[in-house]
Amino acid sequence: MKPGGTLAALVLGAAVWAGALAAAAGVAAERPGDPARGGAVFEEKRCARCHLPRGRGPGMGPALEAIRQPQGVLQLAGRLWNHAPVMFATFEKEGLRWPEVAQEQMADLMTYLQADPSRDPAPDLFQGQVLLIRKGCLKCHRLRGEGGLVGIELTKYHRGYQSPVAWATTIWNHSPRMAGHSARMGLLYPRFSGDEMVNLVGFLNSAAAASTQ
Ligand code: HEC
Ligand code: HEC
């Protein structure tokens, strides 16, 4: 299947997308998330410590009901990206290690938080290209050789853009390190709102596909 097919499938929805993904990237089909296991991950990774149900709070973060609501997976990934600096600071102060999350655990966690890839809208690739510059990614990364030398060449990360759950996992595990680099370089850590992450990942996926043809 051509990379363009992967993008088209994104519009069609999750089930078709998962199939197209496996075919396009040669990856094993992803195991569907399980909400009960996701609830256990939410406890185990200490999310529940700061995100308490309404009526049991206030917790340090927004109430559980505020983060557990019907949403897209990439939309939620954008929220997780925003989250890094505040959580990083708290964990560092308490001497705790960043809770790494494996991809299967992320799939479960996403299901528990009612995030579903079929709820992500189709990406606006032009907006995505604008965002890559506006969010400062190219201060550290290169795209087709242009940009900074701190992070990876972004077209090399093709597989990571093809699965929303894989992307959410990447964001979660790497954002504290990116936050650390931003602070050392005196850069403002960029925040994402609305569908910005959807558009950015859509653009990165198409740029990576174009450069591997
Ligand atoms: C140390 C406390 C703490 C822990 C642990 C924590 N969070 Fe948070 N979380 C926060 C705070 C504070 C915010 C608000 C941050 C902001 O907007 O800058 C937040 C915001 C969020 C948001 C974004 C809400 C929105 O709509 O913008 C999501 C989603 C979220 N957390 C999920 C999680 C998940 C999933 C975990 C566990 C893997 C977790 N959090 C662990 C404190 C925490
Ligand atoms: C301040 C520098 C900095 C900025 C800004 C930055 N990154 Fe990174 N990024 C890094 C570094 C350093 C790594 C390698 C981190 C590691 O593996 O520890 C990285 C890793 C990555 C990876 C690879 C993750 C993996 O699993 O190998 C991706 C994808 C990525 N960044 C995307 C982005 C995007 C998209 C943006 C803009 C929204 C961005 N980065 C902004 C420094 C940055």
Which ligand has the nearest atom to the CA of 76?
1
Ligand 1 center–CA 147 separation, angstroms: 31
Which of ligand 2's atoms lies nearest the C-alpha of 200?
A: 35
Residues 6+ apart with CB under 8 A from 48: 42, 64
Provide the residue ranges of all domains of the chain, joining segments of one domain with +. 3-211
Q: How far apart are CA 37 and CA 16, in angstroms?
A: 24
Q: Over its length of 213 residues, how does the chain's per-residue pLDDT go in tens digits?
A: 444 444 444 443 444 444 444 444 434 567 788 999 999 999 999 899 889 998 887 888 899 999 999 999 999 999 999 888 888 788 788 888 888 999 999 999 999 999 999 999 999 999 999 999 999 999 999 999 888 888 889 999 888 898 999 999 999 998 888 888 888 888 888 899 999 999 999 999 999 988 875
Ligand 2 center–CA 154 separation, angstroms: 9
What pTM value is reported for the model?
0.85
Which of ligand 1's atoms lies nearest the C-alpha of 67?
A: 29
Contact 6, 162 (CB under 8 A): yes
